[in-house]
């Protein structure tokens, strides 16, 4: 677990941590020289009944609030330090605002420097702190412990209070995706790059492969340390130092994240629940440019209200980040103004991978409200319903819900209202009702197509896919078509898909034209006419005739021998029968033998034998044809 400090500058946060732990968290030369915390500092503390916990010490100066925010995201408990001589000050209030906006509920107040003031002053400042509880929920049940970092008075009582509060905090989930925002990156001689941070979820082991976001590089864990001790693994809720292999130190910086390699996406457009800071005099404008803080990342963003700007201080909004940030559902964030002078609000990520289109649609607001107020099952249902029959890949849905795929797979296995198709390590899932509706639409689309194209034998699958469900993955589309074929309502034919029992339909005029074409193509001792000559013979434009011949081919009345040459199906079958007889008698056939057998010329016979090779009746060996092993005609 992590204890984080908060409070105004010079109220003794660092001195108190040094007195509690023996560790000076001011590590920078400038901090030593100025006697002021500038960046995050780190220590650890052993508490009875709890064990060793991490401590993050934050700067109190208003110029370094961005550093405070970078550390505060990992706090389980905030140790608010208020100096008894100064009382509540501006950064006391702003830090409390930030803590509240980040959803941190557990707090202990250390009323420091009690050795400098009389008892009645201690009571006055205690009353000031209690008054803040109206705007800072974490203070409502927060113990206030008088202490002196200078004399050590009250430190044992503070340790006991901290231990009791930490015992009541719910343990972190160690089974989810591993995620750790980087707050420091440095090179260790002989070891290479090292990053530190607070593990937000999951667990990391030595030799694990991890992904660096943004960027996407895969790195390997050479070694781990927890509280300065070598470790084989470290779990969520703990500080951790990770020695990385496969990357240079120049590629690492605060704001990045190391995580489970299955996580590949970063957020650019984020739908959020936003609560404005207490006492904010002016609501941020639509499209206003702001500073966005989450984890250790800081980035500029544009605010777009979803609906009207809130009058009660809480609303739904979209944040359009200028550069991608590693985010997931439930992550907390802080918004500050562009010049970093004021905290404006904060909240929780609802959709880390949102679309910028149709922001105002009612169904989006309904879904976001469900994600905000519902439980885990309601959130799952909201996302299952969002794409309808387009469904989800299991890995994508898991990432959307910030839940490891193996955990989500177990939850989904208990559901009877879903259709699932497995594809190796991944699966596709969609609500049964939506899939049933899509199957009906697919069947109807094929029937409608064939009514509109009565001479067609089938609808091309690619056309059906594009017209009916273009966003559906091709492999899922094929799996759903297989379901329809299994019911017998659709049939697969060489040209595509047709409804059961479908036959091509020709008008009376088309039937007469087909008969005339067949009569003209019938073999009478010389090759049939090619396309241009056939078009003249039947009085049709060549392009239109070519299309009609294709329809006759699909109807089984003609056979395409070459790009511009057709024969009748009856002639083709007669010649095949003659070829089969020769092969049965001799085992092989030469071109001259077949030419003489059918009474045709050499060139036409060669085209005919090439056709039988293509359709798998024969196979050429040198100058002879033999029967093919597998016949496809």
Dump pLDDT digits (tens) for 372-397. Answer: 987 889 999 999 999 999 999 999 99
Vertex 30, ends 24 and 36: CA angle to 5°?
Answer: 60
The residues near 294 (Cβ < 8 Å, ≥ 6 apart) are 73, 325, 327, 331, 332, 333, 334, 349
Q: What is the rounded CA–CA span in Å between residue 360 and residue 368?
A: 12
Nearest one of 613, 617, 619 to 631, comparing CA atoms: 617
Tell me the pLDDT of the chain averaged across its residues.
90
Q: What is the pLDDT of residues 56-102, one digit of tens each?
A: 888 777 777 788 888 788 889 999 999 999 999 988 999 999 899 99
Q: What is the pLDDT of residues 217-256, one digit of tens each?
A: 999 999 999 988 999 999 999 999 999 999 999 999 999 9
CA contacts within 13 A on the Cβ side of 1: 23
Q: What is the pLDDT of residue 579?
A: 92
Q: What is the pLDDT of residue 424?
A: 82
Structural domains for the chain: 2-167 (3.40.50.300), 179-259 (2.40.30.10), 267-367 (2.40.30.10), 385-391+411-505 (1.10.10.2770), 510-633 (1.10.10.10)
Residue 603 has pLDDT above 80, yes or no: yes
The alpha carbon of 29 is separated from its chain's Cα centroid by a whole number of angstroms, namely 42
Average pLDDT over every residue of 293-316: 89
Average pLDDT over every residue of 609-629: 89
Q: What is the pLDDT of residues 100-119, one digit of tens each?
A: 999 898 999 999 999 999 99
Nearest one of 516, 514, 515, 610 to 560, comparing CA atoms: 610
Query: Are the CB atoms for 167 and 24 separated by under 8 Å?
Result: no
Burial (Cβ within 10 Å: 0-12, 13-18, ≥19) of residue 557: buried
The residues near 428 (Cβ < 8 Å, ≥ 6 apart) are 391, 392, 393, 394, 420, 421, 473, 475, 476, 479
Q: What is the pLDDT of residue 322?
A: 96
Query: Are the CB atoms for 220 and 204 separated by under 8 Å?
Result: no
The residues near 64 (Cβ < 8 Å, ≥ 6 apart) are 37, 38, 39
Confidence at 631, pLDDT banded by 50, 70, 90: very low
Burial (Cβ within 10 Å: 0-12, 13-18, ≥19) of residue 299: middle
Tell me how far CA of residue 518 lies from CA of 75, 468, 515, 557, 568, in angstroms: 84, 37, 5, 8, 6
Residue 629 has pLDDT above 80, yes or no: no
Which three-class secondary structure state does DSSP give residue 405?
helix
Residue 619 has pLDDT above 70, yes or no: yes
Lowest mean pLDDT among 39-48, 294-303, 308-317, 394-403: 308-317
Average pLDDT over every residue of 254-261: 95
Handedness of CA 606, 612, 617, 619 (dihedral sign): positive
Average pLDDT over every residue of 400-416: 91
Per-residue HEC secondary structure of 478-536 comes to HHHHHHHHHHCCEEEECCEEEECCCCCCCCHHHHHHHHHHHHHHCCCCCCCCCHHHHHH
Query: Are the CB atoms for 240 and 228 separated by under 8 Å?
Result: no
Confidence at 31, pLDDT banded by 50, 70, 90: low
Q: What is the rounded CA–CA span in Å between residue 586 and residue 488?
A: 44
Q: What is the pLDDT of residue 32?
A: 67
Residue 632 has pLDDT above 50, yes or no: no
Confidence at 297, pLDDT banded by 50, 70, 90: very high
Residue 525 has pLDDT above 90, yes or no: no
Q: What is the pTM of this model?
A: 0.79
The alpha carbon of 116 is separated from its chain's Cα centroid by a whole number of angstroms, namely 55
DSSP E strands in 90-246: the ranges are 107-112, 144-146, 179-181, 184-188, 192-201, 203-205, 209-213, 218-226, 229-231, 233-235, 239-245
Residue 276: both structure tokens together: 């404005």
Which three-class secondary structure state does DSSP give residue 218?
strand
Residue 418 has pLDDT above 90, yes or no: yes
Query: Are the CB atoms for 245 and 222 separated by under 8 Å?
Result: yes
Q: What is the rounded CA–CA span in Å between residue 632 and residue 123?
A: 96
Nearest one of 318, 373, 292 to 73, comparing CA atoms: 292
Vertex 245, ends 323 and 68: CA angle to 5°?
Answer: 45
Lowest mean pLDDT among 24-33, 213-222, 344-353, 464-473: 24-33
Q: What is the pLDDT of residues 548-578, one digit of tens each?
A: 888 888 777 889 998 899 999 999 999 999 9
Token pair 């029967």 is at which residue?
A: 627
Q: What is the pLDDT of residues 360-377, one digit of tens each?
A: 888 899 999 999 987 889
Query: Are the CB atoms for 259 and 207 separated by under 8 Å?
Result: no
Q: What is the rounded CA–CA span in Å between residue 271 and residue 276?
A: 16
Residue 518 has pLDDT above 60, yes or no: yes
Q: What percent of the chain has pLDDT over 70?
A: 98
């Amino acid at each position: 677990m992590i204890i984080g400090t908060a409070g105004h500058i010079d109220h003794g946060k660092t001195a108190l941590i040094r007195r509690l732990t023996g560790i000076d968290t001011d590590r920078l030369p400038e901090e030593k020289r100025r006697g002021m915390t500038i960046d995050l500092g780190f220590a650890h503390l052993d508490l009875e009944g709890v064990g060793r916990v991490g401590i993050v010490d934050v700067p109190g100066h208003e110029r370094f609030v961005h550093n405070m925010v970078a550390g505060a995201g990992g706090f389980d408990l905030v140790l608010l330090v208020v100096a008894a001589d100064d009382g509540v000050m501006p950064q006391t209030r702003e830090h409390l605002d930030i803590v509240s906006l980040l959803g941190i509920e557990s707090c202990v107040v250390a009323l420091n420097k009690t050795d400098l003031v009389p008892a009645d002053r201690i009571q006055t400042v205690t009353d000031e702190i209690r008054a803040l509880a109206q705007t800072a929920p974490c203070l409502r049940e927060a113990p206030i412990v008088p202490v002196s970092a200078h004399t050590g008075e009250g430190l044992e009582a503070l340790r006991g209070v901290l231990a009791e509060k930490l015992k009541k905090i719910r343990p972190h989930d160690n089974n989810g995706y591993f995620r750790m925002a980087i707050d420091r990156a440095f090179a260790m001689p002989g070891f290479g790059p090292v990053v530190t941070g607070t593990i937000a979820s999951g667990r990391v082991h030595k030799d694990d492969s991890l992904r660096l976001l943004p960027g996407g590089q895969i790195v390997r864990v050479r070694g781990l340390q927890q509280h300065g001790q070598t470790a084989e693994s470290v779990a969520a809720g703990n500080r951790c130092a990770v020695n990385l292999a496969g990357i240079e130190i120049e590629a690492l910086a605060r704001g990045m994240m190391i995580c489970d390699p299955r996580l590949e996406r970063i957020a650019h457009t984020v739908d959020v629940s936003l609560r404005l800071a207490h006492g904010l005099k002016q609501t941020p404008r639509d499209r206003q440019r702001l500073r966005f803080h989450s984890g250790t990342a800081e980035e500029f963003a544009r605010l777009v209200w979803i609906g009207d700007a809130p009058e009660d201080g809480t609303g739904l909004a979209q944040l359009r980040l200028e550069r991608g940030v590693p985010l997931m559902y439930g992550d907390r964030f802080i918004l500050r103004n562009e010049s970093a002078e004021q905290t404006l609000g904060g909240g929780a990520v609802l959709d880390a991978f949102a679309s910028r289109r149709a922001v105002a649609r009612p169904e989006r607001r309904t879904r976001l409200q469900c994600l905000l107020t519902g439980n885990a099952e309601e959130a799952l249902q909201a996302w299952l319903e969002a794409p309808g029959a387009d469904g989800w890949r299991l890995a994508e849905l898991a990432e959307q819900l910030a839940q490891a795929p193996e955990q989500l797979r177990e939850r989904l296995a208990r559901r009877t209202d879903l259709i699932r198709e497995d594809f190796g390590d991944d699966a596709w899932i969609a609500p049964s009702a939506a899939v049933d509706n899509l199957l009906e639409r697919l069947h109807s689309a094929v029937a409608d197509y064939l009514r509109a194209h009565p001479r067609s034998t089938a609808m091309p699958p690619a056309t059906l896919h594009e017209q009916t469900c273009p966003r559906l993955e091709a492999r899922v589309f094929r799996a759903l078509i297989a379901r329809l074929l299994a019911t017998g309502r659709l049939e697969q034919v060489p040209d595509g898909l047709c409804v059961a029992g479908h036959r091509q339909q020709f008008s009376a005029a088309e039937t007469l034209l087909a008969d005339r074409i067949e009569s003209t193509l019938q073999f009478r001792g010389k090759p049939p006419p090619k396309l241009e000559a056939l078009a003249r013979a039947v009085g049709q434009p060549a392009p239109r005739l070519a299309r009609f011949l294709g329809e006759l081919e699909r109807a089984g009345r003609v056979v395409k021998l070459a790009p511009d040459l057709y024969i009748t199906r009856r002639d083709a079958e007669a010649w095949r029968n003659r070829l089969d007889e020769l092969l049965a008698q001799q085992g092989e056939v030469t071109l001259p033998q077949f030419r003489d057998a059918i009474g045709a010329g050499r060139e036409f016979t060669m085209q005919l034998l090439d056709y039988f090779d293509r359709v798998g009746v024969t196979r050429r060996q040198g100058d002879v044809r033999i029967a093919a092993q597998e016949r496809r005609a």
